């Protein structure tokens, strides 16, 4: 069996056979999903191909919506302890503008700078602490499914059986390929080299060169990354045939000389990588008992820092729905709502990163368009619209219902009886906030917490939240509340059943 190296978690009886969910891929999406599933008692095995965690820093932080997610699950304090808050401002295509007037509808109106390896580690520790079995050095070779479950075959010849499987294994996803799911979109037209290296050039020389080059080449940058190293980003000369092969130090130095006129004495690389500008999205997010999430479902240029955030939010949407399917109370179309809700969100991200990539081109026409967009962003409505796209705080799922709040998410807010809203969401259950305590929800007490409280900041008498924080019902109409409970939490438990 693969995976002599593991993070301590529960060891399921009978080996892996009979586990509820196999998560393929131990990056931020996979680990976020594993933690969400374990929050509901689902037996989880995470299979990660790499034997040790990667040191590559592809993502530099979390946007407001992902920060809210961490707050909802009680993880934010630890993330804040390892990161740094930066003011939230307009940054579409790297165009710097003040934050929208009045800020955003969130209690976390900032960007949290935190390197991806730290995010990976914190989410891995959370998944393990909740009891996920995490095995490294495990590469998937085959996949088959029937009405009862999924069989995953590994390259060492072993196999394991689960009720469901989720591919969180990146843009070159083996799971997606084994499913035969199409991945249409635009191929890479330009590569960018990325790495952490030490420099011999003085900070003044580096800063002057960066300022000069970035007047026309926005895909270039050098900045300190800690411990004497610098993070370097520079356009590659050609598109790599195999992006899994990292560039060499000499390749990076050649590109620095070509673009900036100096290699700044780059040496002692901590790590080197490359990324492309292709945009692709899986045609389907679900095939029977196998689902896709994160980069396995969508890839796009990293402009605006949306990729890791998008994957974490995929996992947050999918986790409680898949747990409900395992537990047996999921309504018939609940699992399908993962694709119907998240596919359009990713499509929007692909669109905005395409637009940003065009605006960051050094071509004269693109530079003229960039100047025009920069002027338009001086209008607060435009700045707000583009900031909502980057931060994902403008997402509203098409959930039906007559109230404008339905489909949106509530920000964290103080409650009249003390405490805060997000503190009530730590368990990952639904939440009925009802100041009267008289709304009928007893049949769902095993899935929904009925809290007799409200907030001065809440604009409706009562509200029903899904486990991912999105509003499923708002107002006073009891028939509509009953319909929402049935739709999102299944039929009520029989009278006398325990919570």
Q: What is the pLDDT of residues 59-74, one digit of tens each?
A: 789 999 999 999 999 9
Question: What's the whole-model pTM score?
Answer: 0.93
Q: End-to-end CA distance of the chain: give it in Å, rounded.
A: 39
Q: Which of 276, 298, 333 is the last residue of a domain?
A: 276
pLDDT confidence band for 15 (50 / 70 / 90): very low
Nearest to 305 by CA among 391, 229, 192, 216: 391
Residue 429 sits in the same domain as residue 478 = yes
Reported as type and span, the H/E element at residue 359 is helix 336-359
For the stretch 413-461, pLDDT in tens is: 999 999 999 999 999 999 999 999 899 999 999 999 999 999 999 999 9
**How many Cβ atoms are within 10 Å of 136's Cβ, its own excluded?**
19
What's residue 240's pLDDT? Answer: 86
Which of 9-18, 23-32, 104-113, 467-476 shows the lowest mean pLDDT across its residues? Answer: 9-18
Residue 196 sits in the same domain as residue 334 = no
Nearest to 368 by CA among 377, 358, 354: 358
Q: Average pLDDT, stretch 234-242?
A: 89
Which of 4-8, 178-182, 193-197, 264-268 shows the lowest mean pLDDT across its residues? Answer: 4-8
| Cα distance between residue 189 and residue 277, in whole Å | 6
Residue 412 sits in the same domain as residue 495 = yes
Residue 146 sits in the same domain as residue 29 = yes
Nearest to 38 by CA among 162, 129, 168: 129
Q: Which residue has the tokens 């002692």?
A: 268
- Whether residue 374 is contained in a domain is answered as no
- Whether residue 66 is contained in a domain is answered as no
pLDDT confidence band for 7 (50 / 70 / 90): very low
For the stretch 127-148, pLDDT in tens is: 999 999 999 999 999 999 999 9
- Residues spanned by the domain of 464: 401-499
Residue 27 sits in the same domain as residue 148 = yes
Q: Which residue has the tokens 């489909």?
A: 407
What's residue 165's pLDDT? Answer: 98
What's residue 245's pLDDT? Answer: 86
- Whether residue 110 is contained in a domain is answered as no
Q: What are phi and psi of 23, to 5 degrees?
A: -105, 120
What's residue 10's pLDDT? Answer: 37
What's residue 304's pLDDT? Answer: 84
Residue 297 sits in the same domain as residue 349 = yes
Which CATH number fits the domain that encloses residue 238? 3.30.70.2450
Q: What is the DSSP string of 135-204?
A: EES--EEEEEE-SS-EEEEETTS-EEEEEEEEE---TT-HHHHHHT----EEPP--EEEEEEEE--S-HH
Residue 200 sits in the same domain as residue 156 = no
- Whether residue 327 is contained in a domain is answered as yes
- Whether residue 77 is contained in a domain is answered as no
Cβ distance 451 to 468 under 8 Å? no
What percent of the chain has a predicted confidence (pLDDT) above 70? 95
Q: Average pLDDT, stretch 402-420?
A: 93
For the stretch 246-256, pLDDT in tens is: 999 999 999 99
- Whether residue 231 is contained in a domain is answered as yes
Q: Indicate the pairing of strand 44-48 with strand 133-136.
A: parallel
Maximum Cα–Cα distance across the chain: 77
Residue 246 sits in the same domain as residue 305 = no
- Whether residue 218 is contained in a domain is answered as yes
Which CATH number fits the domain that encloses residue 149? 3.50.50.60
What's residue 305's pLDDT? Answer: 86
Q: Could you tell me the two tokens for 263? A: 């290699």
- Whether residue 142 is contained in a domain is answered as yes
3-state SS assignment for residue 47? strand
What percent of the chain has a predicted confidence (pLDDT) above 90? 81
Which CATH number fits the domain that encloses residue 448? 3.40.30.120
Residue 18 has pLDDT above 70, yes or no: no
**How many Cβ atoms are within 10 Å of 375's Cβ, its own excluded?**
11
What's residue 226's pLDDT? Answer: 82
| Cα distance between residue 34 and residue 141, in whole Å | 21
What's residue 270's pLDDT? Answer: 93
Residues in the chain: 499
What's residue 3's pLDDT? Answer: 55
Q: Which of 311, 330, 360 is the last residue of a domain?
A: 360
pLDDT confidence band for 496 (50 / 70 / 90): low
Q: Average pLDDT, stretch 385-406?
A: 90
pLDDT confidence band for 17 (50 / 70 / 90): low
Domain count across the chain:
3
| Cα distance between residue 25 and residue 7, in whole Å | 14
For the stretch 276-290, pLDDT in tens is: 889 999 999 999 999
| Edge-to-edge strand ranges of the sheet holding 463-465 | 448-451, 430-433, 463-465, 471-474
Q: Which of 242, 276, 310 is the last residue of a domain?
A: 276
Residue 28 sits in the same domain as residue 170 = yes
Q: What are phi and psi of 398, to 5 degrees?
A: -80, 85
Q: What are phi and psi of 356, to 5 degrees?
A: -65, -40
pLDDT confidence band for 8 (50 / 70 / 90): very low
| Cα distance between residue 261 and residue 255, in whole Å | 9
Residue 164 sits in the same domain as residue 205 = no
| Cα distance between residue 32 and residue 129, in whole Å | 12
Q: Could you tell me the two tokens for 396? A: 């509203």
For the stretch 178-233, pLDDT in tens is: 999 999 999 988 899 999 999 999 999 999 999 999 998 989 999 998 888 999 99
Across the chain, mean pLDDT equals: 92
**How many Cβ atoms are within 10 Å of 398's Cβ, its own excluded?**
10
Residue 244 sits in the same domain as residue 343 = no
What's residue 299's pLDDT? Answer: 95
Residue 262 sits in the same domain as residue 347 = no
What's residue 497's pLDDT? Answer: 60
């Amino acid at each position: 069996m693969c995976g002599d190296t593991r993070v301590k978690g529960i060891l399921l009886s009978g080996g892996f056979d009979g586990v509820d969910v196999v998560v393929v891929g131990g990056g931020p999406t996979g680990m976020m999903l594993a933690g969400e599933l374990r929050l509901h008692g689902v037996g989880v095995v995470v299979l990660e191909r790499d034997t040790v965690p990667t040191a590559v820093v592809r993502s530099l932080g979390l946007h407001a919506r992902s920060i809210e997610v961490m707050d909802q699950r009680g993880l934010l304090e630890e993330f804040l302890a390892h990161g740094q808050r930066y003011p939230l401002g307009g940054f579409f295509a790297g165009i710097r503008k003040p934050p929208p007037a009045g800020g955003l509808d969130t209690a976390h109106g900032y960007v949290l700078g935190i390197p991806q390896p730290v995010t990976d580690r914190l989410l891995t520790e959370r998944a393990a602490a909740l009891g996920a079995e995490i095995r490294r050095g495990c590469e998937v070779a085959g996949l088959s499914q029937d009405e009862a479950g999924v069989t995953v075959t590994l390259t060492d010849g072993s196999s394991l059986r689960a009720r469901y499987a989720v591919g969180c294994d990146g843009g070159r996803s083996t799971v997606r390929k084994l499913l035969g799911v199409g991945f249409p979109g635009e191929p890479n037209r330009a590569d960018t080299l990325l790495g952490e290296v030490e420099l011999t050039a003085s900070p003044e020389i580096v800063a002057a060169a960066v300022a000069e080059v970035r007047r026309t080449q926005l895909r270039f940058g050098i900045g300190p990354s800690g411990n004497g190293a610098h993070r370097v980003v520079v356009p590659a000369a050609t598109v790599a045939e195999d992006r899994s092969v990292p560039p060499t130090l000499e390749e990076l130095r050649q590109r620095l000389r070509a673009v900036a006129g100096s290699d700044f004495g780059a040496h002692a690389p901590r790590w080197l990588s490359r990324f492309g500008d292709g945009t692709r999205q899986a045609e389907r997010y679900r095939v029977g008992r196998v689902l896709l999430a994160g980069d396995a479902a969508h890839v796009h240029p990293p402009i605006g820092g949306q990729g890791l955030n998008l994957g974490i939010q995929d996992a947050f949407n999918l986790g409680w729905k898949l747990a409900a399917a395992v537990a047996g109370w999921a309504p018939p179309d609940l699992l399908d709502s993962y694709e119907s809700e998240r596919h359009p969100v990713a499509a929007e991200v692909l669109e905005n990163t395409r637009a940003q990539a065009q605006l960051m081109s050094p071509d004269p026409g693109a530079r003229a368009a960039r100047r025009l967009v920069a002027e338009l962003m001086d209008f607060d409505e435009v700045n707000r619209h583009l900031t909502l796209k980057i931060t994902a705080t403008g997402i509203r799922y098409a959930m039906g219902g007559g109230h404008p709040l339905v489909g949106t998410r509530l920000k964290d807010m103080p409650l009249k009886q003390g405490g805060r809203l997000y503190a009530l969401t730590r368990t990952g259950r639904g939440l009925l906030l009802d100041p009267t305590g008289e709304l009928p929800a007893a049949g769902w007490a095993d899935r929904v917490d009925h809290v007799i409280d409200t907030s001065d900041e809440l604009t409706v008498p009562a509200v029903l939240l899904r486990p991912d924080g999105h509003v499923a019902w708002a107002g006073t109409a009891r028939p509509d509340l009953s319909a929402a409970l049935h739709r999102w939490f299944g039929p009520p438990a029989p009278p006398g059943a325990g919570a």
